[in-house]
Structure 1
């Protein structure tokens, strides 16, 4: 897997993922908040399969 997510994209994904998971754990939103795992993991691993399919790359060094 070649990295295709840049720094800003990565930070936003991780923040969104954490916010959704915390909101789900606190009961503010339902169980669907666990979908936050997707942006969290794609941010941590710097790889998005959808970006590969669409030919998008936000990583300038890659």
Structure 2
């Protein structure tokens, strides 16, 4: 598993992920009264946090993308 996420994107992913996980519980928005949107926000947030911590995005590897300057091995 070769890292394919650069440092700036890693920071953005982790911050956005934490916000998406916390948003349904802290915001009080009527939008999140639906369990579907709450779960969707939490799942997407966790995926962002995990990919940010691991510095690896499987979708980038499938598409041949990289934001750290190194090509992903297929």
The TM-score with structure 2 as length reference comes to: 0.73
Question: For 1:5-24, what aligned pairs fall within 5 Å after superposition?
Answer: 5-24=5-24
The structure having more radius of gyration, on CA atoms, is: 2
Range with greater deviation from structure 2 (26-35 or 10-19): 26-35
Consecutive unaligned residues of structure 1, counting only runs of 5 or more, are none
Separation of aligned partners in 2, 1:49 and 1:22? 24
Range with greater deviation from structure 2 (12-21 or 28-37): 28-37
Partner in structure 1 of residue 25 of structure 2: 25
Deviation, structure 1 residue 25: 2.4
Aligned residues between the structures: 61
RMSD value over aligned CA atoms? 1.4
Partner in structure 1 of residue 61 of structure 2: 52
